[in-house]
Chain A
């Protein structure tokens, strides 16, 4: 969502099965598989929630409500882990 972005100390690399996030401050590595890896991609591009959810419906075969819940749950987890911050 546009109000969230990757934390300043986070770097990431695309892998075959998802994306790996490196917290440069702590050295910790977090792997995101699918569909969370797609959410990360759209989030870090600053896409609005609605757009992310619409794409996620097709990517993960979800209905809109489930897509929205997954996006919010993923963002909350990333926020709690210090991997995203509010922009």
Chain B
């Protein structure tokens, strides 16, 4: 299955194999998977929680940062990652998932400095899982997050750390003028929500984890990523009309192009479905 996935990357002209999970380093053949990808001339990026078995650590530290990088998702006080930081050094770029507006990112700069990590931080928003069972960041909290991030950016710049943003960030969450100061890092804000194409262990490929229930099919033989993205995009196009906020439909930034309305999974969370006739009777809308 892994080889088929690598075949798919090759015929799609994708130069990097991204390994994620769960925790990908727990795969019993993780070092071999990395080797297989490298032998195909691909770079490897591993998305990890930083708590890795020894064979995985040894594998990763044996390759230079130009071939293998590790994105470690961290949170304050997470001591279990220290060994990975110490041994992998500048192969590691930090990522931080925001699920509350009360987040405090200053510790990220301290970690980079202390362990000589790559001077890059990727911020992500905790989006709702397909069954909304996780603790996600509600879109109403986006502006508070944007304000706090804006305050952090100056410190990051002063420390020589480059900040980038994962999917789902929207222009209106930031204070006016901040996006201009971000430079190239702002390029994806508002537009970075498109089929990522995550290939699952069972051989299926999904648009992304949060949308796994809506856009999913077996990894196609012979087709490339562009064709698959096109199909997923078409399938989800109706939902794209939504946007994460009620006001997205009337928003100028949305209509003129810079913003596509934010995370599609968060947008879909606004959808309602009708009750059955029997449920209507039982729900008793009319009574307080």
The answer to whether any beta carbons of A and B sit under 8 Å apart in the complex is: yes
Q: Is the beta-carbon distance between B277 and A22 smaller than 8 angstroms?
A: no
Q: Which has the most chain A C-beta neighbours within 10 Å: B235, B239, B247, B286?
A: B239
**Contact between A20 and B241 (Cβ–Cβ < 8 Å)?**
yes
What is the distance, in angstroms, from A23's C-beta to the closest C-beta of chain B? 7
> Counting CB contacts under 8 A, is A64 at the interface?
no
Which of A20, A24, A26, A87 makes the CB contact (< 8 A) with B242? Answer: A20
Residues in A neighbouring B184, C-beta threshold 8 A: none
**Residue contact B273 to A6, C-beta cutoff 8 Å:** yes
CA distance A17 to B182 in the complex (A): 33
Docked Cα-Cα span, A75 to B237, in Å, equals: 26
Bound-state CA distance A26–B271 (Å) is 16
- Kindly provide the distance from the CB of A55 to the nearest chain B CB, expressed in whole angstroms: 12
A16 contacts B by Cβ under 8 Å? yes
Complex interface residues of chain B between 226 and 284 (CB less than 8 A to chain A): 234-239, 241-242, 246-250, 267, 270-277, 280-281
Does A10 count as interface, using CB distance less than 8 angstroms? yes
Report how many residues on chain A are interfacial, defined by Cβ distance under 8 Å: 25
Q: How far is the CB of A7 from chain B (nearest CB, A)?
A: 8
Structural contact, A5 and B276, CB atoms closer than 8 A: yes
- The answer to whether residues A13 and B280 also contact, given A5-B274, A22-B271, A47-B285 and a CB cut-off of 8 A, is no
Cβ of B264 to closest chain A Cβ, rounded Å: 12
Q: Which residues of A contact B272 (CB under 8 A)?
A: 11-14, 44
A61 CA to B183 CA, complexed, in Å: 51
Q: Contacts A13-B270, A14-B246, A22-B241: A46 and B285 contacting too (C-beta < 8 A)?
A: yes
Check if A15 is an interface residue, CB within 8 A of chain B: yes
Q: Would A11 and B280 count as touching, CB distance under 8 A?
A: no
Contact in complex: B271, A45 (CB < 8 Å): no
CB neighbors of B among A51-87 (8 A) = 87
In the complex, how many angstroms separate the beta carbon of A82 from the nearest chain B beta carbon?
A: 14
> Which residues A9-54 have CB closer than 8 A to chain B?
10-17, 20, 22-24, 26-29, 31, 44-47
Q: Is there an interface contact between B238 and A44, defined as CB atoms closer than 8 Å? A: no
| Nearest B residue (CB) for A12 | B272
Is the CB–CB distance between A87 and B277 below 8 Å?
yes
Contact in complex: B239, A22 (CB < 8 Å): yes
Identify the B interface with A (CB < 8 A).
Answer: 234-239, 241-242, 246-250, 267, 270-277, 280-281, 285-286
A contact residues vs B (CB 8 Å cutoff): 2, 5-6, 10-17, 20, 22-24, 26-29, 31, 44-47, 87
12 A–B contacts from the bound complex (CB under 8 Å): A11-B271, A13-B242, A14-B246, A22-B241, A22-B242, A22-B271, A27-B237, A27-B238, A31-B249, A44-B274, A46-B281, A87-B276
